[in-house]
A and B are shown apart, each in its own frame.
Chain A
Amino acid sequence: MSIDLETARRVAKLARIKVEDEALPALADEFNTILGFIEQLNEVDIEGVEPMTSVTPMRLKRRDDVVTDGGHPEKILSNAPDAREGFFAVPKVVE
């Protein structure tokens, strides 16, 4: 599997990272180096092997479905690059 410029562009778009056109060839090369390294995994016989979901077998704890925290909007907004009237502010989303 080899990554072409179009795939590199699509991956950057999916990752929401702006990559200038002139940077795409180098990026595609790096992807190909890393994916080439990962290809080794195809040598492993994984027939009948379950994908790992939890490295230490454990049952997740349960708790009552009740509110345990909240009521501090100022703290939640305190690090926002732009917050107004108790909300996070972003560029216009809907026309």
Chain B
Amino acid sequence: MSDLTKLTIAEARERLRKGEVTSVELTEACLREIEGAGALNAFVHHTPDVAMEQARAADARLAEGDAPAMCGIPLGIKDLFCTRGVPSQAGSRILQGFLPEYESTVSQQLFDAGAVMLGKLNMDEFAMGSSNETSTYGNAVSPWRRGNDEAELTPGGSSGGSAAAVAADLCLAATGTDTGGSIRQPAAFVGITGLKPTYGRCSRWGIVAFASSLDQAGPMTKTVRDAAIMLGAMAGHDPKDSTSADLPVPDFEAALTGDVRGKKIGIPKEYRMDGMPEEIEALWSRGQEMLRDAGAEIVDISLPHTQYALPAYYVIAPAEASSNLARYDGVRYGHRAKLSQGDGITEMYEKTRAEGFGAEVKRRVMVGTYVLSAGFYDAYYNRARRVRTLIKRDFEQVFDAGIDAILTPATPSAAFGLGEMSDADPVQMYLNDVFTVTVNLAGLPGISVPAGLDKQGLPLGLQLIGRPWEEADLLNSAYALERAAGFVAKPAKWW
């Protein structure tokens, strides 16, 4: 019965409703897979007792015929989400021992819909990273390998544990969060679907904040249909997050007709980067052909400020992070350094933060502190916010000209080996997000769809970017792309 964990949400929903399988059976199957997958280091806090209790409750609801779409579906939850009474560390040592007294809105909504939490998933510390190598729990490992080469590969980041867990069928789906590409890049690296909704679609309440004007939660799933189903349960207005949009949540799944005839798909010339691997270029061309064959019109477009997105991001995100992470001071929660005789409160702050934060987090907090400091605020922070306005305007202009969605590669390469980037300077790692970060700066929805394998047999993804609040239409375009690409490859089990 181990094939149960390979089910999509949609398949499991049908079987649960027909009574062919119970949530308890599904959940037990997932827990067994997780038990045997320690080598992936995807699940970092296991919650089998919570899971079984939720599964029994879901089965009771199913028996009564009260079964929302997510009822009984076993999920992994990224460690960035605060979950009541369950460790929620954001992958950081500084939150060691933290047990939230409250539940994040997104996880609460999933639980209200009957979903089951199997445990918490590995991630880069405070979601800062593109390879899951900055986590206090150690690296998450991709279930994929380069042929017979046993070198461990990154599942991407920051939602690396979510990506590894879904790709390895340890759970049916997982939550992720995306500040510069942290859902879409890992999804592309492991051959799954990852959706970052419009900024404000999902409540950020109870999600550990990294860069509040960019952070957004979203589903990481095996199919586009599953992303539509799961987003429906995650989305919605929340009075506790003043930036969450008070807009109705449409039936995203109902939009999946696969009919994209007459849709205008933009191909931005600025995304054709120097030194881009030929395979990425070829995949992108194939994606255009697939959508054209499905009846869409392919239109060349220009987003002239694209090259400034990463530099703007590396001002704005660290600035917001330095402010958000000021709360980790050793007073209210988490780690406090042991103090020496005579140490005062300043030494307590400085030692606590030096011990509690990893190198990348320290680097970004200090860069953020610098760009916000007196004398540099205008030159760096305000300039970056003005460039951000221009980046968003680029998108508005192409959407005003009638473009329905934009097709780009999801990542500039396939997954790289863990440790392979360790000698590179930080900026080299930041380039992983070159195709995804524009979407966060403009607040748009973006989805990564697995579309092919490279010569080494590793997955590659394509990204579709949609108009604000039109996730339903975006998901439908992604559905057409998914059907045409017919990606079915799975990693061979070695763990």
Main secondary structure, interface of B, reads helix
Is the CB of B93 closer than 8 A to any CB of chain A?
A: no
Do the beta carbons of A55 and B346 come within 8 Å of each other?
no
Do the beta carbons of B389 and A81 come within 8 Å of each other?
no
With A52-B392, A55-B443 known as contacts, the answer to whether A15 contacts B98 (CB < 8 A) is: no
Is the CB of A93 closer than 8 A to any CB of chain B?
A: yes
Report which of B213, B326, B366 forms a contact with A31, defined as CB distance below 8 A: B366
Interface string of A56-67 (1 = CB under 8 A from B): 101011010000
Interface string of A22-66 (1 = CB under 8 A from B): 000001001101110111111110100111111110101101000
B369 proximity list for chain A (CB < 8 A): 11, 14-15
A26 to chain B, nearest CB (A): 10
Do the beta carbons of A92 and B344 come within 8 Å of each other?
yes
Give residues 352-393 of B contacting A (CB, 8 Å). 353-354, 357, 362-363, 365-367, 369-371, 373, 380, 382-390, 392
Chain A: interface size category: 35 or more
With A34-B427, A40-B307 known as contacts, the answer to whether A16 contacts B331 (CB < 8 A) is: no
Report which of A7, A38, A55, A88 forms a contact with B311, defined as CB distance below 8 A: A38
Do the beta carbons of B242 and A81 come within 8 Å of each other?
no
B299 to chain A, nearest CB (A): 25
A8 to B161, CA, bound (A): 34
With A19-B354, A46-B390 known as contacts, the answer to whether A33 contacts B427 (CB < 8 A) is: yes
B2 to chain A, nearest CB (A): 38
Give residues 28-82 of B contacting A (CB, 8 Å). none
Is the CB of B417 closer than 8 A to any CB of chain A?
A: no
Do the beta carbons of A33 and B425 come within 8 Å of each other?
yes
Do the beta carbons of A11 and B373 come within 8 Å of each other?
yes
Is the CB of A71 closer than 8 A to any CB of chain B?
A: no
Is the CB of A5 closer than 8 A to any CB of chain B?
A: no
**Listed residue (B242, B310, B366) with the most chain A CB atoms within 10 angstroms of its CB:** B366
Do the beta carbons of B346 and A49 come within 8 Å of each other?
no
A21 to chain B, nearest CB (A): 13
A58 proximity list for chain B (CB < 8 A): 200, 243, 245
A35 to B349, CA, bound (A): 26
Do the beta carbons of A93 and B99 come within 8 Å of each other?
no
Which residue of A is nearest B431, CB measured? A37
Q: List 9 A-B contacts (CB under 8 A).
A: A15-B369, A30-B363, A33-B425, A52-B385, A55-B199, A56-B199, A56-B243, A79-B332, A81-B331
Residues of A that sit less than 8 Å from B by CB: 3, 7, 11-19, 27, 30-31, 33-35, 37-44, 46, 49-56, 58, 60-61, 63, 72, 75-76, 78-82, 88, 90-93
